[in-house]
Amino acid sequence: MSLLEETKRILAAYRVRPKRRLGQNFLVDEEVLKRLISYASVNEKDNVLEIGAGLGFLTERLARIAGHVVAVEIDPVLVKILSRRLSGYKNVSILKGDILKMEGPPYINKIVSIPPYSISSPLIFWLLKRKFDCAVLTFQEEFGRRLVAQPGVSDYGRLTVAVYYYAEPELLDFIPKESFWPTPEVNSVIVRLRPRKPPFYVRDEELFFRFLRAVFTQKNKKMKKALEVFLSDFKIPKEWLRKISESIPFYERRVRELAPEELALTFNALHEKIVSVRGSEKGY
């Protein structure tokens, strides 16, 4: 029986209709499942996290190889299906809930998942704050391009810089939309993330990401103009704003043209100016 036939059989047996709002498009391509596991180099020593376990096709294949699999699923009906289908696997733990509201299971070293695409961006930020050896996931093709975009292209943005800061992203494979059922409107890609130490220094990590969020809302503008939104939070006198903006590196360059390292240099210089201005009784 093909995965497509098995998917339809299981859903019919439980009278389940895939929920669009939960991104329930089930992968029905056996070869793609094999590639996901292969790209993560899963072995018997691994504790693997799967986000959005669905009907358990990937879960089952991971369980045959990995030491332990933690499968997270938010849909209570699918949790019921998973519990019954995978009851014979003693190395599988099924957790019901929203992964974004969880601290994350302990002792996980790899993530292999076909997560709901509706949570792609917050999921990336959730993952980047956690420790693991590698993550292999599927995303919409457009989203995947944003993770590895180069400065100057339309896909380049805050997400690109954040991922680059925490990890090495790779686009590994293309998945046609016909590999899913129901068939979605877009194609997908397989992405691998390998965490690393940040490749550049920032004076204040939390503030740096606030800076990125602010300037990338106006990424087609020159940096000196895009900074207005960010600097408005600091209650700096207007007469100083222009002086500050024009004293930092790359202030005449457009935000979307700046490489992550250049954005860090800009932020560090800006941070120094802000600290200086706020701490000075005489002003700029």
Domain regions of the chain by residue span = 3-195, 205-279
Q: What are phi and psi of 132, to 5 degrees?
A: -165, 165
Asked if 167 and 126 count as a contact pair (C-beta separation under 8 A), the reply is: no
Query: What pLDDT is recorded for position 279?
Result: 60
For 189, residues 6+ apart whose C-beta sits below 8 A from its C-beta are: 138, 139, 140, 141, 144, 145, 171, 172, 173, 174, 175
Asked if 151 and 256 count as a contact pair (C-beta separation under 8 A), the reply is: yes
Query: What pLDDT is recorded for position 276?
Result: 74
Cα separation, 131 vs 271, in Å, equals 28
Query: What is the spatial order of strands in the sheet that 110-113 belongs to?
Result: 92-96, 68-73, 47-51, 110-113, 134-140, 188-195, 167-175
Query: What pLDDT is recorded for position 22?
Result: 65
Per CATH, the homologous superfamily of domain 205-279 is rRNA adenine dimethylase, C-terminal domain (1.10.8.100)
pTM: 0.92
User: What does DSSP assign to residue 222?
Assistant: B
Query: What pLDDT is recorded for position 283?
Result: 46
Query: What pLDDT is recorded for position 41?
Result: 98
Q: What are phi and psi of 55, to 5 degrees?
A: -95, 0
Per-residue pLDDT of the chain (284 residues; tens, 9 = 90+): 899 999 999 999 999 887 776 667 899 999 999 999 999 999 999 999 999 999 999 999 999 999 999 999 999 999 999 999 999 999 999 999 999 999 888 899 999 999 999 999 999 999 999 999 999 999 999 999 999 999 999 999 999 999 999 999 999 999 999 999 999 999 999 999 999 999 999 999 999 999 999 999 999 999 999 998 888 888 777 777 788 888 899 999 999 999 999 999 999 999 998 887 666 544 44
Does the structural domain 3-195 have CATH classification 3.40.50.300? no
Query: What pLDDT is recorded for position 16?
Result: 86
